[in-house]
Amino acid sequence: MADPLTLFTSIGLSEQKAKETLKNDALCSALKDAIAQAQRVLGVAGVDKATGTLLYTMASRLRDPKRLGFLTDHIAQRKICTELQLAAALEFVKSHPQDPINQQEFESLCGVGVVITPEQIEDKSASVFTGEARGGLMWADGKMIKNEVDMQVLHLLGPKTEADLEKKPKVTFHTLKIEGRTLMDELRGVALNFHKPGENYKTEGYVVTPKTMDLLKQHLEFTGGQIRTRFPPEPNGILHIGHAKAINFNFGYAKANDGICYLRYDDTNPEKEEEKYFTAIKDMVEWLGYKPYEITHASDNFQRLYDLAVDLIRRGHAYVCHQRGEELKGHNPPPSPWRERPAEESLVLFDRMRRGLFAEGEATLRMKIVMEDGKMDPVAYRIKYTAHHRTGDAWCIYPTYDYTHCLCDSIENITHSLCTKEFQARRSSYFWLCNALDVYCPVQWEYGRLNLTYTVVSKRKIIKLVEEGTVRDWDDPRLFTLTALRRRGFPSEAINNFCAKVGVTVAQATMEPHMLESCVRDVLNDHAPRAMAVLEPLKVTITNLPEGIRNDVRVPDFPANEFMGSHVVPFTRTIFIEQSDFREVMEKGYKRLTPDQPVGLRHAGYVISVQKVIKDAQGRVVELEVHCCSSHEAAEKPKAFIHWVSEPQKCEIRLYERLFLHKNPEDPSEVPGGFLSDINPNSLQVIDSALVDISVSKAKVFDKFQFERVGYFALDPDSTADKLVFNRTVTLKEDPGKM
């Protein structure tokens, strides 16, 4: 046989394609075998380009090498002679992994022997266009159909005009406006690749064993073909913005397909788990609008997981090891000298571990597998003399994530195990463990994580921020935990919209906070009623109003749509305005109140003009005396209308900025001193004597408002009957300085 490069170019591959093929050992070997067999079938030394193209396509797409000869024979004998037939043939062998293949069914489904004449195409195309024409001519050449349909269209509609030929702007996913869309609306491209329930074996990398098809059959009988997902957080911290994407993906995918999603707590490490985290996780899932089909725990299966571990030892796939934790750290740790320990000995030792006869760290159970990242023999069980929040002291050995996760997925008959990209290195061990135990094996799908700049989400680092007193707790509104975002006033709908806007891709997504804030404004603009608040009050006395007068002013909750309700605020002789809305000296471009420039009062229908400026001993302006008149009586329309309050309620306002000064506070090249050295000293400003109109006096915790001309605010849990506390959620407009 000729050298591979010459051989591959002889069947029609370009020199570049042939060289690329040589770099792929598996493809190179498969293609050489296919060409050699085709030459034997044909009885000639060469293979024509059409046959060569089909052989290359078959070799590059075939996942089961044992079917290579079967398909090569059909290609060489011209039974499979089009790309369409080959695609059907590849799908058939993928769907029928077990021998023997039903030859008659195979040839029928692949169009073997079907001949479509040009006359048939012309007759069919005369009455229907391409989409329907294909339905009646399944095995016809696509180019022939297109050419004939083009002729029919030209005959009916005439040649294309200049307008037809004008290049239209391309609409991409990123240019679509997201309004009330869910993550699933943006997921279609990714989800199209997902396997159907029961067709796990069609997924690339999925391992088919002699028992696979029977296990899948049992799985389908149990689930009825229903989509099943799970959201499996570890209850050792509060969920953050990245988890919001995972929640939307898992619950959203199930919901969009009439399936179910479990909330499963991965509670296998009793040292770090606390009840408050269990409660907070459930609250956040429900806050985002999702209701778990069932709440489960890895600990529900402790006995079953233990029994499966015993079975794994008996099968020769696990052993008890005495290497210490420090020996297993770092790159290329030494292989365990106990790897070939007899199963009977490991069974005895594992039982002793179970009964508490070893000290912590003295023994572990390890699985005999090398993971994709090179990690050898991951630990399945370790000893921890710590009471578990649900099982108490019943166990002193606890399973690891690498052992537990896929088996709990199997027990719950999960169809799609959706996880972030860093778990890709565990996919092979996921499949291996299920198959090693002969249990139903779900499919793991990975997607890119969602990260934000100017923040940290690591549980360890947030705990450090709390311990250092930089933030108050996990729900400090400067953090991007979900409890913190809720406290700050971010609507759950806005977070879901943000996840939809980001979408689901394999690549990691790192977004700017202002993109999330934009989604927040979109929601609050439509749902946060208006109120008036003054952060830095300046007293104003209206001298031409008598003492004791009190008028009611009706203020619309949503000025753009007055049918959505209104509230009443008092208007008296004494009002308060923002200090920044008055200047004693007129400056160019300043349109608010000055001694020479009147201003209108929002919603009141009055215009005020300064008559006297009152100052304290230090020369600071402390009060204005003004004259007011109806806006209809004013000599000229005022250049601006400002907000105000009268008989207001005193409140505390908390203004938040970014917690960190740099985009990537965890990056040593950007912040050499570490994230704790990057704290923004102005991340929180507290105004303890702000004034707000009485319309908000009966607000409940987390109620949201737009304080006119100031920003969006939410009522904080620290509020009392005597003093309300408001957190600024976002400003009214994006600050260009934050870009």
What is the DSSP pairing of strand 260-265 with strand 294-297? parallel
Phi-psi group of 586: left, alpha or beta (phi > 0 → left; psi -120 to 50 → alpha; rest → beta): beta
Please pick, among 32, 202, 449, 461, the residue that the annotation labels catalytic: 449
For residue 138, what are its two tokens? 């399944």
User: Element (H or E) spanning 655, and its range?
Assistant: strand 649-656
What single DSSP character describes residue 629? E
Classify each residue of 518-541 as buried b or exposed e, where b means 16 or more C-beta atoms within 10 Å of its C-beta. Answer: bbbbbbbeeebbbbbbbbebbebb
- Between the alpha carbon of residue 718 and those of residues 279, 401, 452, 652, 706, the distances in Å are 20, 38, 27, 10, 20
Question: Residue 553 in 3-state DSSP?
Answer: strand
657 is catalytic: no
Q: Which among 20, 91, 199, 234 is annotated as catalytic?
A: 234
DSSP H or E run through 499: helix 492-502
Query: Does residue 264 have an active-site annotation?
Result: no
Q: What is the sign of the dihedral through the CA atoms of 133, 138, 140 and 142?
A: positive
H or E segment at 446?
strand 443-447
Catalytic, 234? Answer: yes
* Three-state DSSP state, 151: helix
d(CA 598, CA 592): 7
Rounded to the nearest 10 degrees, the angle between the axes of helix 15-22 and helix 25-42 is 120
In the DSSP assignment, the letter for residue 382 is E
Looking at the DSSP assignment, which residues form a beta bridge with residue 556? Answer: 566
Q: What is the dihedral of CA 41, 42, 47, 50, to 10 degrees?
A: -90
Three-state SS for 156? helix
**E strand or H helix at 711, and its extent?**
strand 711-715
Q: Which residues contact 353 (CB under 8 A, 6 or more apart)?
A: 320, 363, 365, 381, 383, 396, 397
Catalytic residue (choose from 375, 421, 459, 583): 459
d(CA 186, CA 241): 18
Q: How far apart are CA 71 and CA 94, in angstroms?
A: 12
Q: Could you tell me which residues come within 8 angstroms of residue 341 by beta carbon, excluding any fewer than 6 positions away? A: 319, 320
Q: Vertex 115, ends 114 and 121: CA angle to 5°?
A: 120
By annotation, the residues acting in catalysis are 234, 449, 459
